Structure formats: C-alpha cells, structure tokens
Homo-oligomer: A and B are copies of this chain.
C-alpha cells in the first residue's frame, strides 16, 4: 500500500529487486550490532517467507553473515569490494600527492571527501606522525551540514539543488554551533562568494576546520579538501591564513583531474 506521496524531497528509487535488498543491507549495516531474524522482520516491511529468502540470498553472496545464533551482521565481501574500489579510485589517486603537500605545509590532518546524497564520504585522510587507525575515517559518511567539506561542496551546487538537498536533511544538533536548515542556507551563500568554508565546532566541540570545494564540470563529482585540528591550536586567524593554500590545493587537484581526462577526449 502506498502512503501519501512525500513531497519533492522524497527520492523514489526504482531499482526493483535490488532496491529491496539494499534496504535490508542498509538496515543491518546501520544497526548497533547483529540483528536477529525477528528484529529485521519487525522493521522491514516484508512477509516472513519473503524476508527469509532475501536474507538467505544476501548471506549466500557474502554481503551478510549469519552467526551460530542466527544473528545477521555485515559480510566480509563488502570489505573486499570496498578495498578494490578505494585502491583504484581515480579521484583519490590523483589527489594523494596534493593532500600530502598540504599536510606538510599545515602540519594538521587533511581530508578528502565526496558528496553522496546528503552525506560526505571521506575518501582519504593524511595525518602527521601517529599511526592512523585504518577505516577510522575513510569510508565514513558524515552529514553535509556540519562538516567543512560538506558545506564547501554544497556551495558550488546550483541554489535549487542545494534547497532540494537541504529539504531532505534531518538536522541533528551535535553542538551549540550546529546549523539549522535556515542558517545553513544562509552560510552557503557566503561560502559561495568566499570560495572556502569553515567548520566552527559544528560537529564536535573542540574541532575546527577549513575546507575548499572540488568539482567536475558537469557536477557528477562534487567534494572537497579540508584541514582539521583541535580548536586550541587552530585559531580562526590561523584557519583564515590557510584559506589560500587550501583553495590552491583544490585547484591543483581539479587541474590534475582534467589532465587525466583531458587529452584522451
């Protein structure tokens, strides 16, 4: 049964059988921990028999695992797929040297992220000394509205697309500085003019960042670079000083991407 049509924002995906399976996969991967059959049955809108077959298929393909107690968890196949995906990603490969250079210049942590839906997915992270915990950040999806990269990315989208996107967001107040829909839209306008964005402890108290947008001509790729660090070290003055270098880095990455694509076609 169809409920009342959601307004504009509601993306209606028509991916048939795959779509239904992805809903389940999302359910399990977003859960706190392993889910039992009945747990899933309660939230997935499917008859028991159907759900059972769907889960079996996901398990057989390695996208889900089922333990001895019949609890479902994300499967190891996802790691394999993702590691290949990451290793070969052109955007990441092209950006890498530029991220390192920026890290060297600032001494702080540098991130590379792309926009997907209303989230920023981090593709790379370059830290200074201490060993990096793998997957600690890479692959992570963070909300657009409280990350520097997210706001920078939004700033290069056409206004109507930003509005449509913002309408889809459910705003969670992480800190006292976290944006609301209205304040976000307002700041995007400023960022559009400036060419760079700050995160003034909007996601986590004590964490600030500067970010610059990166985009392809047709906007099929929209993301950004950022320099992040603790507020006590990264004063707003210092962040401002870095707005130049970070925009420069973004520019170089875009040029490098075009070179990659340019000559051949």
Contact = CB atoms under 8 A, between A and B. Distances in A.
Contact of A216 (B22, B68, B86): B68
Given A131-B127, A131-B130, A80 B141 contact: yes
A84 to B, nearest CB: 5
Given A18-B21, A88-B73, A116-B77, A83 B265 contact: no
A116 B132 CA distance: 26
B60 A88 contact: no
Interface string A51-81: 0000001101111000111000111111111
A69 to B, nearest CB: 6
B76 A140 contact: no
Interface string A83-109: 111111110000000000000000000
A33 interface: yes
Contacts of A61: 13, 15, 18-19, 22
A16 interface: yes
Contacts of A125: 134
A265 B68 CA distance: 11
Contacts of A80: 116, 119, 121, 139-141
Nearest to A265: B69
Interface string A232-251: 00000000000000000000
Nearest to A14: B60
Interface in A30-59: 30, 32-34, 57-58
A127 B132 CA distance: 10
A117 B77 CA distance: 10
Contacts of A216: 68
A238 B135 CA distance: 32
By CB atoms of chain B within 10 A, which of A83, A138, A265 has the most? A83
Contacts of A73: 85, 88-90
Contacts of A30: 84
A76 B85 CA distance: 8
Contacts of A256: none
Given A21-B18, A61-B13, A62-B116, A83 B135 contact: yes
5 contacts: A15-B60, A74-B82, A79-B82, A79-B139, A82-B83
